[in-house]
Chains A and B, each alone.
Chain A
């Protein structure tokens, strides 16, 4: 029997050892957990914290958990949360200041974030982290809050062996196989009478943890089985987003009637931007105590769907729902490319699942692609 270098096998009954190895190294392990009918990310200390035997059923505008007929640990796809919850939190204090006389002092006494390990990072999520790295660390200015949280994260990635109907990572070139910067990557194989993981290291830190688990090398046959499982997920993916010339397609269809059409359905609730693992927009709120001696500035997630987002003195630049949906989709798929050299969409499908009225980004692109209209045609079209 032949073996592959770097690929090992970890039995599910030994999975706790992986958690222990991480915890022993001082990591706070964050991973999937069932909370309020959804799989979210939270602190994981033991195997039993994981969503054993649970899966998610997703469709346009729909999400629910269902029991599987096995004990899979990673038998779901993606939930409403993403790792941006930890790296670029929904609320973070930028500063605390204290008035002293007529001036003030900035008290920057934020504790350093704990050393963290992310368990169960999917291919699209790994891509999303890279997208946010580019925005918040890789541009002209570096966001030290993001950088401090991002630094030294130990990533245990998981290859998808099943896909949801909302997934389209294959169109965006991000999955279902994990690629890029992970420390360990797992492929879960579960079937009658067996439950094991093919595991490989992607970094020195990963290799060190792996060595401690002393796993046996994976057989060629097992590796093929793991690959086939990932292939199966890929072939399950039905949703397509044709990205050919997508930037120019959206730029030139700025006045397409489809924007009016989607605006009639869109509630501008901002759900899509909140669940999106790449959306990075924030606002800042000032708070001060009653005596006016203590002030804080808090950075909070914001969304281009909110009316105030584009407010300049006198009014909002994007006051119609149409213009705000157009900003969202055009940013994700077109201007992001000009700004950062890559798409702002990784194809995770969250915005499709979590849209209360079932608006589907892939469907909107298709509608525009199938009836491209020059601005003249659309603005002088039928009444």
Chain B
């Protein structure tokens, strides 16, 4: 093989994209819209997939795609600034370049939900990788049954996509419930962890698929409670997170028992995760 072909197929080489828009969602979370610097289009991705985003000279991070899969001319990410690299990422200005590799990983099995109800359970930044599912269902309303979105955040100030949540709630066959762990007195919504919303969800567990994303411990509570609400383990999907240095199975960092989160996941059915989730320091 010549080096030229190696370069074109090198999954470790980022493509430069430029920042088109930065929207502040909360005090520490921003949504970035990127478009290819060289004008190339066709950014197909499946809801739930992630990219490796590289900030010139700083570092590279796995970030889920949070945009609309129908909008092929851009890639949208929602990033919470928690450390050096995420801080550098959200500090990019419009016109600046970010390196993009991917999309990588498995998506949510949206195709399996055709004709069935879809339950989306999100915690904190975990709504970002689930937003593409919501777009997909709402754009193709006739293909899917009811859509129920249950979203938990730390406090009302930490809620992402507030306007959109309200707009989704107005769509037909769609129920959106939001809860916070700590509500101020002006908060009129629910207070309590996201699992306390299950009893209000109007759907038929036996003919539904549940997609959950949030901190691992939250997903454990969610999956366990969904089971008691009549969801079969194989109809519950989780998005897992581990350290990632490559996204393509080379670096070994994302191993989770027999799985590589980057290429076998990050989306896994709960029946496969359950025995592993109970293992401390796996």
Contacts and interface: CB of A to CB of B under 8 A. Distances in A.
Contacts of A142: 9
A142 B2 CA distance: 14
A339 B258 contact: yes
Given A139-B263, A312-B241, A335-B258, A104 B250 contact: no
Interface string B268-282: 000000000001111
Given A254-B279, A312-B242, A103 B37 contact: yes
B167 interface: no
A145 B251 CA distance: 13
A128 B11 CA distance: 24
Nearest to A336: B258
A283 B251 contact: yes
Contacts of B82: 313
B95 to A, nearest CB: 5
B185 interface: no
A104 B83 CA distance: 23
A341 to B, nearest CB: 12
Given A144-B9, A310-B253, A99 B56 contact: yes
A319 to B, nearest CB: 7
Contact of B252 (A102, A254, A281): A281
A100 to B, nearest CB: 9
B251 A281 contact: yes
A144 B6 contact: yes
Interface in B75-106: 82-83, 95-97, 99
Of B13, B56, B249, most A-chain CB atoms within 10 Å: B56
Chain A: interface secondary structure? mixed
A317 interface: yes
Given A147-B1, A281-B251, A339 B12 contact: no
Interface in A295-340: 295, 297, 299, 302, 304, 309-313, 317-320, 322-323, 326-327, 331, 334-335, 338-339
A136 B250 CA distance: 6
Interface in B27-79: 37, 54, 56-60
Contact of B97 (A94, A103, A299): A103
B183 interface: no
B184 interface: no
Interface residues of A, number: 57
Interface string A157-184: 0000000000000000000000000000
Interface size grouping (class) on chain B: 35 or more
A97 B83 CA distance: 24
Contacts of A112: 2-3
B21 to A, nearest CB: 15
A37 interface: no
A284 interface: yes
B242 to A, nearest CB: 6
Nearest to A296: B57
A28 to B, nearest CB: 18
Given A97-B56, A151-B1, A302 B243 contact: no
A95 B7 CA distance: 10
B16 interface: yes
B204 interface: no
A143 B11 CA distance: 8
Nearest to A324: B281
Given A310-B253, A335-B258, A284 B3 contact: no
Of A102, A108, A280, A327, most B-chain CB atoms within 10 Å: A102
A284 B260 contact: no
B234 interface: no
B251 A338 contact: no
A247 to B, nearest CB: 9
Contact of A139 (B9, B14, B249): B249
Contacts of B96: 102-103
A318 B281 CA distance: 5
Given A102-B96, A104-B97, A318-B281, A95 B13 contact: yes
Contacts of B1: 144, 147-148, 151
B30 to A, nearest CB: 16
A317 B242 contact: yes
B263 A284 contact: no
B72 to A, nearest CB: 21
B97 A312 contact: no
Given A99-B56, A286-B57, A310-B243, A94 B12 contact: yes
Contacts of A144: 1, 6-7, 9-10, 12
Interface in A10-60: none
Nearest to A144: B6
Contact of A106 (B9, B13, B18): B13
A304 B243 CA distance: 12
A193 interface: no
B253 A283 contact: yes
B250 A141 contact: yes
Interface in A196-231: none
9 contacts: A94-B13, A95-B13, A106-B14, A144-B10, A148-B1, A284-B246, A286-B59, A310-B253, A339-B260
For the complex of A and B, the 4 pairs showing the least CB-CB separation, nearest first, are A288-B57, A281-B252, A338-B258, A323-B281
Given A102-B97, A339-B258, 13 more contacts: A102-B95, A148-B3, A283-B253, A284-B246, A286-B57, A286-B59, A299-B12, A313-B83, A317-B282, A326-B281, A334-B258, A335-B255, A338-B258
